[in-house]
Amino acid sequence: MSSKRALLLINLGSPEAPRPREVRSYLNEFLTDPYVIDLPYVPRQILVRAIISPFRAKASAHAYDKIWTKDGSPLVHFTRSFSGKVAETLGAGWDVRWAMRYGSPSVAERMRDWDYDELYIVPLYPQYAESSSRTASEEALRHSRSGAKVLVLRDFFAEPEFIRAQVERINGSLLEFQADHLLLSFHGLPEHHLHKLYPAHCLRSASCCDSVTSANRFCYRAQCFATARGDPRIPAVRRRQNFSRVSVAPG
């Protein structure tokens, strides 16, 4: 008898609507995750619920409204679409579902009453970080079925097919206009999030992230640089990578 195989794709999440009330609820759930803001429980709750969410909700709702589509949140729409294409590719032997770490549909909701023998958990983040990949996979593991075989894909920053897909998108865009510079921008993390994983290695030298080794295997910054080096088939334009809001944060 063949085993029942399941695949769970997990993305970050989105508010239910681009309105301050929904955005505030989403920020409360997202930012009180101890992997995102790693302060002790009480100060974390005060910081998020009394300061960050009330003051950011209106501006963030306005920003969400500018990208909202007739299909709703772009991230939810594209995750749903991607999940459908993965299911088509894998075929009838797989049960493919998708969920959001924060917001709806939640991991708990999507995993409720799910019957499988093997579960593959895939956080949709190419580079590993505790505030993205780890919290997503741990949430899924909490709700996984007892006795089932469970495997987690932690990262895919250097997978040839991932790199190839990025190269094809970049090259397609470069055909539309004459560019002399290519900027690869990655989401930022607080520096102490990086340092706490590898305190003996992280940021000890200017070259600590030049390659991914056993000394920094799950370093987000090193993995981003590895992705940026990518593939030589990108046309000969100057390349540079940056990070949004990589800084020192409380904690």
Residues spanned by the domain of 191: 160-244
Q: Which two tokens stand for residue 225?
A: 């640089």
Residue 249 lies in a domain: no
Do 102 and 26 lie in one domain? The reply is: yes
- How far CA 215 is from CA of 193, 199, 206, in Å, comes to 16, 10, 15
pLDDT of residue 246: 43
Residues 206 and 232 in one domain: yes
Q: Where does a domain end: 92, 119, 152? A: 152
Q: Which of 152, 182, 202 is the endpoint of a domain? A: 152
State the pLDDT at residue 183.
Answer: 87
Q: d(Cα 187, Cα 241) in Å, to the nearest integer?
A: 11
CB 37 within 8 A of CB 31: yes
Ramachandran class of 194: left when φ > 0, alpha when ψ lies in -120 to 50, beta otherwise: alpha
| Residue 251 domain flag | no
Q: Which two tokens stand for residue 74?
A: 């772009």
**CA angle in degrees (0–180, nearest 5) for 133-40-192:** 55
DSSP 13: E
pLDDT tens readout for residues 113-147? 999 999 999 999 999 999 999 999 999 999 999 99
CATH number at residue 87: 3.40.50.1400
Closest CA to 111 of 103, 99, 123: 99
**In terms of domains, do 110 and 197 share one?**
no
Q: Which residues of 81-108 are buried (b: 16+ CB within 10 A; e: fewer)?
A: eebeeebeeeeeebbbbbbbbbbebbbe
Residue 111: count of CB within 10 angstroms of its CB: 22
Whether residues 140 and 18 share a domain: the answer is: yes
Instruction: Indicate the number of domains in the chain.
Output: 2
The answer to whether 107 and 10 are in contact (CB under 8 A) is: yes
Q: Say what the pTM is.
A: 0.92
Distances (CA, A) of 49 to 24, 25, 80: 9, 9, 30
Residues of the chain with pLDDT under 70: 1-2, 232-237, 245-251
